Amino acid sequence: MFPSLTSFSQTHQAPAKIRETTTLVTVSSSSFNNPAAKPPESTPELSLGSYGTAVQQLQKQLKQNGYFTGPIDGIYDQKTELAVYNFQISMGLLADGVVGQETLKSLNNPSLLTSFFSVSNLLKTNLNSASNLPPDIQGILDRGVLVVAVLGTDNPPFFSENPQGELTGLDIDLGQSIARELGVQIKFDRSAKVFNEVVDLVHHHKADIGISKLSISMARAKKVLFSSPYVSMRQGLLVNRLELAKKAQNKRPEEVIQNLDGKLGVIQGTQYALFFAKTRFPQAQIVEFETWDDVVESVKKGEVLAAYRDELEVKKIVLAQPDSALDIQTVALTDTKDALAMVIPWDYNHFLAFVNTYLDLNNLNYTVEQLINKYPDIFKQVP
């Protein structure tokens, strides 16, 4: 399929799968004092998505021991999973939020329960003590500050300074929300001059997380962990109409673009310069520029045939400068994907799960159209 300019479609997430669990064998406390009593050979696991009487029984036990504060409704939801996870930590079990044989044994053994902190006791002491939380989360809580790496150059609607000198934008909002969920302050590190320096700050543990319009790539995945995408879009081209016509001659414009062999402008230090352009357009002559404005100006002057970036930035030019449509045209590459995600240190596995849970619970995965509607002032026509 040749790349073409298409309408934007909204991302829909599939509903969570739910399965019914109606039986769960309860091991009475007396069985631990009776060697002849044998636990059942198999017990169905309970996990996120389970429901039924077994889950109700689980919730009752968790509530009795101070771990669960939600309704006894028989639905294994996020609150139930978190209660199980906290129980497992306090019992010294594998903390995975799944109720199996070992978790069930601990729930039904009063002597074990009294030998460890219950949640009610923990609430009276320090919920953020090192005995409760994984070290990556605990380190942030102990410091009291979430350090977020962001590119030093403004890139609205993701991050930019307003006239009052305050940072605003989608990435800034996300960072502040995650800090609030953790109950800590936030610090933005804007020392990075190019996007990969943001990745390096996180890789070297100089920042807890990078939220900076970062494209997912295999090269970056060698250094850091990626969150689930919070923006999903396609790649795009801004093409000089006259130069495209010269190249086309007896060919269709789509064929020229598919096999582009002219000059292709990109921003230096981005994944478009380091990876995407070379793999997508191997015959093109890659020309790197310091800024996106420089790339766009070069396209308008016909110094390069096309500019290569994500469809949001390409569309932003046309929306802000409608007169430019006389000289340039936009192309969305329908068979491509440019997903933006947060980057997290390679050994912060639980913090990664925390961030992904936040994104999932808030159903955050923007499309280009949703971003344009969310930040209309960014895309309005330039007078």
Query: Could you tell me if 279 and 260 are in contact, meaning their C-beta atoms sit under 8 angstroms apart?
Result: no
Q: Tokens for 99?
A: 């109720």
- Position 151 pLDDT exceeds 50: yes
Least confident of 116-130, 151-165, 229-243: 116-130
- Position 237 pLDDT exceeds 80: yes
Tell me what percent of the residues of the chain surpass a pLDDT of 90. 51
Alpha helices in the chain (DSSP H): 53-64, 78-91, 101-107, 110-114, 119-124, 135-143, 170-182, 195-203, 218-221, 241-248, 253-258, 271, 277-280, 292-301, 311-320, 349-361, 368-374, 376-379
| Alpha carbon distance 62, 54 (integer Å) | 12
Please give the C-alpha separations between residue 70 and each of 59, 99, 162, in angstroms, as whole numbers. Answer: 8, 17, 42
Mean pLDDT score across all residues of the chain = 82
pLDDT value of residue 111: 60
pLDDT value of residue 82: 79
| Alpha carbon distance 273, 288 (integer Å) | 7
Q: What is the pTM of this model?
A: 0.60
Tell me what percent of the residues of the chain surpass a pLDDT of 70. 82
Element (H, E) at 235: strand 231-240
Banded pLDDT at 91 (limits 50, 70, 90): confident
pLDDT value of residue 256: 87
Full DSSP string of 5-54: --------PPPPP-EE----PPPPGGGGS-TT----S----B-TTEESHH
pLDDT value of residue 81: 84
Mean pLDDT to the nearest integer, 262-266: 95
Banded pLDDT at 14 (limits 50, 70, 90): very low
Q: Tokens for 311?
A: 């469809």
Preceding peptide of 376 cis, ω within 30° = no
CB atoms within 10 A of CB 334: 14
Torsion angle of the four alpha carbons 46, 80, 230, 194, in this order, in degrees rounded to the nearest 10: -100
pLDDT value of residue 253: 82
Of 188, 249, 190, 225, the closest CA to residue 356 belongs to 225
| Alpha carbon distance 173, 179 (integer Å) | 10
Mean pLDDT to the nearest integer, 120-136: 55
